[in-house]
Structure 1
């Protein structure tokens, strides 16, 4: 089939360094259109990657098969409803929306429209991460297993993402939390409870997760610790064996290309729907809010 025509909504650093070049270089996709709230930014980005810029989002939707979002969650949650209703496949960032209710509305819109969707959970598409998960037992780990996850960075102290208002306001829990919870859920079994959580200023989150087979995991997150590069570590110990994963597994462009592989295969009928879809995004957002509620 022809390449999937993708419209990019957003023009910030992540759109410029991951979405746009990833879509433009993938053999199964074409970066056909760009829209941002600032027409000059859209025009500049579109020109760089051989796309067309649009000032009207509804007109953009008529010109594409799929929409990739690189905007704040509250904006994505609104615009994804229109894109799904227009029959467009979705590439969504996390968090899926500004609230759990808005995220649920996106899931319902995708289900009504019968379109495909995928969440940009980049780590899960890294070859090293996939190999690490393949080492795990197929059944959920039992109460004789514990897991630990640590993701500590200084990305809110400087760099391209430190000026992002929603990241500055919500911190590591909303930005890093979905990645970490998703990976622990996949490694030792579905999360069924958040037994405890602690938060300390300026941005230190610590919480526990209980998994369906009885395994427990402990998470530490921060984006305001002066370290470079980030410290990322996942460890599983006990009855499930001894398994350690250090780092992201691969850089974002490699992971994004694998994500597009899955979406293109689903769209052309040669592969199953992406497993990490907006339903997964809703589930992760519910768990992030459960952590926030456990803090009190």
Structure 2
């Protein structure tokens, strides 16, 4: 599979480019970015072509990996799908349900496969734990905390305009939902939503299984308090999500594996664009609750 990279920011350079370059099952073909000089720099580092025209890149590949802000990603994903290219996308899929639906519709019309990179779903230990807990009945409640220090440290993502605008709900909220939904089922409603310090938000979710979950999400946690944890409680007792022994590049390598398998078999991956859309719809519901102040 020939695959091109759309994006040249910190995430593209730290995770996507090395994962694509090191994967034996794909041919890393080239890079396009909104800043041509940055695309050239990334391309030269990996010995691939730099493109100043995204359609020229689409003409030369079978798939694209997208490491761009979600509002940019959605439109380019539609464009790539319409060109018949498979999609490796990042979370969140989009920042509105309408944009997300457009991606899903384009992929379905074109018959292309898609995978959305929710990190925990492609890390060995967390993913195995999620599968194990999904097979256990009787979960009563869950607590998820995803606390980042992006805006309180020297993080390379601190200057990200979309993170500044959308905050933790849209950046780390998808991670928490990607863990909870397979175990507790779909979210029937956002029962409550409230603001905490800075961009911190607190959510209470009502799930299809009858269980409830609480989420605390932040990008402004003190560095010493940052981290992610998920706790489940139910008839089987208490279960805590394990940490991962590997970084983003290894997880992205598995996401590429998943896209290759989906493209070869035609069977959708559990983290396809349709799942990404559902996560986007839930985030939009939570945003609406936060905006109108209903609790």
Output the TM-score relative to the length of structure 1: 0.93
State how far apart, in whole Å, the 2-side matches of 1:45 and 1:260 are.
Answer: 19
1:154 partnered with 2:149? yes
> How far did 1:166 drift?
0.2
Q: What residue is the counterpart of 1:256 in the other structure?
A: 252
State how far apart, in whole Å, the 2-side matches of 1:150 and 1:248 are.
Answer: 16
Q: What residue is the counterpart of 1:205 in the other structure?
A: 201
SS across alignment from 2:241: strand
Match of 2:280 among 265, 268, 285: 285
Q: For residues 265 and 246 of structure 1, do their structure 2 counterparts lie closer, same or farther at Cα, with a shift above 3 Å needed?
A: closer
State how far apart, in whole Å, the 2-side matches of 1:262 and 1:288 are.
Answer: 25
State how far apart, in whole Å, the 2-side matches of 1:87 and 1:137 are.
Answer: 34
Q: What residue is the counterpart of 2:60 in the other structure?
A: 63
The 5 Å alignment of 1:20-39 reads 20-39=17-36
- Equivalent residues of 1:75, 1:98 under 8 A apart: no
Output the TM-score relative to the length of structure 2: 0.93
> How far did 1:228 drift?
4.6
Unaligned 5+ runs, structure 1? none
Q: For residues 103 and 90 of structure 1, do their structure 2 counterparts lie closer, same or farther at Cα, with a shift above 3 Å needed?
A: same
Q: For residues 268 and 210 of structure 1, do their structure 2 counterparts lie closer, same or farther at Cα, with a shift above 3 Å needed?
A: same
Q: What residue is the counterpart of 1:78 in the other structure?
A: 75
> How far did 1:206 drift?
0.4
Higher helix proportion, which one?
2
Q: What residue is the counterpart of 1:49 in the other structure?
A: 46
- Equivalent residues of 2:138, 2:234 under 8 A apart: no
- Equivalent residues of 2:88, 2:114 under 8 A apart: yes
More moved, 165-174 vs 179-188: 179-188
- Equivalent residues of 2:120, 2:126 under 8 A apart: yes
After the TM superposition, list the runs of 4 or more consecutive aligned residues in structure 1 that deviate by more than 6 angstroms: none
State how far apart, in whole Å, the 2-side matches of 1:42 and 1:79 are.
Answer: 16
Match of 2:119 among 113, 117, 122: 122
- Equivalent residues of 1:140, 1:190 under 8 A apart: no
* Residues 64-105 of structure 1, C-alpha deviations (whole Å, 9 max, x = no match): 000111111111111111100000001111221232111111
> How far did 1:248 drift?
4.8
> How far did 1:229 drift?
7.4
1:275 partnered with 2:275? no
CA-atom RMSD in angstroms: 1.6
SS across alignment from 1:159: coil
Match of 1:265 among 258, 261, 265: 261
State how far apart, in whole Å, the 1-side matches of 2:256 and 2:217 are.
Answer: 28
SS across alignment from 2:222: coil
Q: For residues 85 and 140 of structure 1, do their structure 2 counterparts lie closer, same or farther at Cα, with a shift above 3 Å needed?
A: farther
State how far apart, in whole Å, the 2-side matches of 1:67 and 1:87 are.
Answer: 10
> How far did 1:40 drift?
1.1
State how far apart, in whole Å, the 1-side matches of 2:182 and 2:245 are.
Answer: 15
> How far did 1:139 drift?
6.3
1:195 partnered with 2:191? yes
1:6 partnered with 2:24? no
* Residues 118-160 of structure 1, C-alpha deviations (whole Å, 9 max, x = no match): 1011111111112212332536645xx1110011121122310
State how far apart, in whole Å, the 2-side matches of 1:185 and 1:54 are.
Answer: 38
Q: What residue is the counterpart of 1:171 in the other structure?
A: 167
